[in-house]
């Protein structure tokens, strides 16, 4: 799959998964994406962490270091308040609309 496809939706994917999980850390996000897409989408740290940091700067996510086992991990969750709720609602509306439009374009089942 083209990396440009993934890059265009990575912010949406991460926010959705974090909202669904309540709280999670970077490596767990990469595993979730890979498992749910059956390996079609594979994230690396170079793509993942800049997006998570950007979402923190926007105020959509907050993070906290927690020690689990022998090493601390940075956990991400949605920022409390209406702004993050509005962000998710808008994102989901736009994404569903966009996917519907793509489906209308590529609905043809037989190329040739």
Whether 96 shows a pLDDT value over 90: the answer reads yes
Average pLDDT over residues 3-8: 79
Q: Tell me whether residue 85 is in a domain.
A: yes
Q: What is the mean pLDDT of residues 21-37?
A: 95
Closest CA to 26 of 2, 57, 58, 48: 48
Q: What is the mean pLDDT of residues 74-87?
A: 92
Residue 69 lies in a domain: yes
Q: Is residue 111 part of a domain?
A: no
Task: Indicate which CATH number applies to the domain containing 16.
Answer: 1.10.10.10
Tell me, what DSSP letter sits at residue 41? S
Would you say residue 51 lies in a domain?
yes
pLDDT score, position 8: 84
- The pLDDT assigned to 109 comes to 59
Q: What is the pTM of this model?
A: 0.85
Q: Report the number of distinct structural domains present in the chain.
A: 1
Query: Does 110 reside within a domain?
Result: no
Domain that holds residue 11: 3-105
**31 is a domain residue:** yes
Q: Is the pLDDT of residue 108 over 70?
A: no
- For the sheet containing 24-25, what is the strand order? 24-25, 71-78, 61-68
In a domain, 112, yes or no: no
């Amino acid at each position: 799959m083209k990396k440009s496809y993934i890059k265009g939706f990575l912010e949406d994917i991460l926010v959705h998964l974090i909202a669904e999980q309540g709280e999670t850390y970077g490596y767990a996000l990469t595993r979730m994406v890979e498992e749910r897409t059956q390996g079609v989408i594979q994230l690396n740290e170079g793509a993942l962490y800049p997006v998570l940091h950007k979402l923190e700067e926007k105020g959509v996510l907050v993070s906290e270091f927690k020690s689990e086992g022998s090493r601390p991990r940075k956990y991400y969750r949605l920022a409390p308040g209406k702004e993050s709720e509005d962000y998710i609602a808008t994102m989901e509306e736009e994404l569903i609309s966009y996917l519907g439009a793509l489906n209308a374009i590529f609905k043809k089942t037989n190329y040739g």
